[in-house]
Amino acid sequence: MGGLSIWHWLVVLLIVLVLFGRGRVADIMGDFGKGIKSFKQGMGDDEEEAKAKAAKIHSLEGPHHDAKPAGEAAKDPHPGAEHRN
């Protein structure tokens, strides 16, 4: 009583085809496919925007992002050691 057999689904499919016709069902499925394609394209656009923002932020940081913080520079036991020969 709880589950539907294959025959129940076939009857439902037959009723849907009679009510809407084959052409209308095909149109609905085509629109559904276009919707999925549009959704995937929108997701791809979002990823491209995120990458562009990350690249912009990275370019704005410039070369100073590798420098030591001020506290670490004071802790260096041999300041200027890189200049010794």
Q: Write the DSSP assignment of the chain as a string of letters.
A: --S--HHHHHHHHHHHHHHHHHHHHHHHHHHHHHHHHHHHHHHHHHHHHHHHHHHHHHHHHGGGGGSPPHHHHHH-SSTTGGG--
Q: Which residue has the higher pLDDT, 32 or 82?
A: 32
Give yes or no for a contact between 16 and 25, defined as CB atoms under 8 angstroms apart. Answer: yes
Q: How confident is the model at residue 68 (pLDDT cuts 50, 70, 90)?
A: low
pLDDT digits (tens, 9 = 90+) for 1-47: 567 889 999 999 888 888 888 788 788 889 999 999 999 988 888 88
Q: Which residue has the higher pLDDT, 56 or 64?
A: 56
pLDDT of residue 23: 81
0.75 cut: is pTM over it?
no
